């Protein structure tokens, strides 16, 4: 991302709200699943529940619809931010929000990502409800 002055938008690609049930899957051997909030060709943001923040090391993620009909596997990514959103009362769990930027995509991955975004996102960037499905396995 390029640097700019003030609070001006720094993203190269417009973020679009993900269709309900669009999930990010990270981690091996412990898998974390979170609901994607918004995405673009440059990256995405998702919510997840965890007792602690996930590793910030570069990784690969899967992007899929909960119905299993559309999916992308092994997308390289790098954490941009990971912040606590809400503590869950009477548990050690915390709802977190993570933003990632995509790494170097193959031409095939880029084509499939463009197709996924065209078919499973929309321009309405209203906030995703806090009771949205996210979990950590």
Q: What distance separates the 2 farthest-apart alpha carbons in the chain?
A: 47
Look at residue 59 in the predicted model and tell me its pLDDT: 87
* Whether the Cβ atoms of residue 95 and residue 86 lie closer than 8 Å to each other: yes
Query: How many Cβ atoms sit within 10 Å of the Cβ of residue 61?
Result: 22
Tokens 């606590």, located at residue: 84
As given in the structure block, the two tokens for residue 100 are 């990632």
What is residue 126's predicted lDDT score, i.e. its pLDDT? 53
The predicted structure's pLDDT at residue 8? 44
Whether pTM exceeds 0.75: yes
Per-10-residue mean pLDDT for the chain, 137 residues long? Answer: 43 84 84 92 93 79 88 93 80 87 95 93 62 41
pLDDT of residue 136: 38
Separation of CA 43 from chain center: 7
What DSSP letter does each residue of 48-111 carry, written as one string? EEESSPPP-S-EEEEEEETTSSSEEEEEEEEEEEEEEEEE-TTSS-EEEEEEEEE----HHHHH
What's the confidence (pLDDT) of residue 54? 75
pLDDT value of position 134: 42
Domain borders along the chain are 16-136
- Reading the block at residue 1, the tokens are 């991302």
Query: What confidence score (pLDDT) does residue 29 get?
Result: 66
Of the options 2.40.10.220, 3.40.50.720, 3.40.50.300, 3.40.50.410, the CATH number for the domain spanning 16-136? 2.40.10.220
């Amino acid at each position: 991302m390029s640097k700019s002055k003030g609070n001006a938008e720094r993203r190269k690609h417009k973020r679009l709200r993900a269709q309900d049930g669009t999930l990010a899957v990270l981690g091996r051997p412990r898998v974390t699943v979170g609901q994607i909030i918004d995405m673009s060709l440059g990256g995405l943001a998702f919510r997840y529940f965890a007792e602690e923040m996930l590793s910030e090391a570069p990784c690969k993620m899967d992007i899929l619809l909960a119905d299993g009909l559309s999916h992308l596997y092994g997308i390289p990514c790098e954490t941009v931010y990971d912040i606590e959103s809400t503590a869950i009362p009477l548990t050690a769990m915390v709802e977190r929000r993570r933003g990632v930027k995509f790494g170097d995509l193959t031409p095939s991955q880029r084509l499939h990502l463009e197709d996924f975004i065209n078919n499973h996102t929309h321009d309405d960037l209203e906030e995703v409800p806090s009771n949205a499905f996210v979990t950590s396995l």
